[in-house]
Structure 1
């Protein structure tokens, strides 16, 4: 299981690297953001926890026969996760970012169901991710709505 975990963690690290390359910066600070926006320090803490816990969940699932769909959904969600940061923070495409995040939410919800079908603990480990993405979706929506001229 350790090898699987390290592989899934490497995929997650690639997604996390986009946050290092495409930082929010002055552009983001200049946007109108909703009052429920968490402090900036919360984002790297939350994402670090989520990447590690979902990599562990995927590693648990990988050990079971019949996990192909669950692991395919992991691949889809990590690809979409990797795409969101350069779209939103790099290209400043708020609406397209909302589309990517919506597809990511659907992929993670499907992955969560697939993980639950294979391993209860793996499914439970995905719940914080879907909750965080729900908050991220609300934030993305409000930033997009409140900054249509940018």
Structure 2
């Protein structure tokens, strides 16, 4: 009988919630952020929470699906490492953008975050087409977030 889904799902859910919680506590939508000029196509505030919920849920499910399809322990360890790196980069972007208030530096970091998502997408896809497809919302959202970040720089820079 195949290994139970329960433990991997719980671990992935706890990791996703941890990244979301840390990123959320770092995100400060106070006066500095409100004063920034943003593009007209910026989603309304409540949309961000909904979008991130979908992204974290689909990413966690992709991780579990790909992990279960990993052919070796080393392969699953590499996958876990890619997810850990990605979680770190996700939190780091919020720290740089909102706490350090440097959208210009955050954009550079976002390029690394985007590359980590692309690496995860490839790693997941190699193990399971479904897992790869589940990574697409994350890549799409961070691409949009990158365009938003860039427009904040254009509309408000220079920073520092």
Q: Quick check: 1:14 aligned with 2:37?
A: no
- Of residues 46, 59, 63, the one that matches 1:58 is 63
The higher radius of gyration belongs to 2
TM norm structure 2: 0.87
**After superposition, where does 1:27-106 map in structure 2 within 5 Å?**
27-63=32-68, 64-65=70-71, 66-106=75-115
Count of equivalent residues: 150
Aligned-pair Cα RMSD in Å? 1.4
Report the 3-state secondary structure (helix = DSSP H, G, I; strand = E; otherwise coil) of the residue aligned with 2:45.
Answer: coil
Residue pair 1:69, 1:114 contacting (<8 A) in 2 also? no
Moved over 6 A (4+): none
Note the C-alpha offset of 1:149: 4.1
Measure, in 1, the Cα distance between the counterparts of 2:59 and 2:107: 22
List alignment gaps of at least 5 residues for structure 2: none
List alignment gaps of at least 5 residues for structure 1: none
Report the 3-state secondary structure (helix = DSSP H, G, I; strand = E; otherwise coil) of the residue aligned with 1:27.
Answer: helix
**After superposition, where does 1:132-147 map in structure 2 within 5 Å?**
132-147=141-156
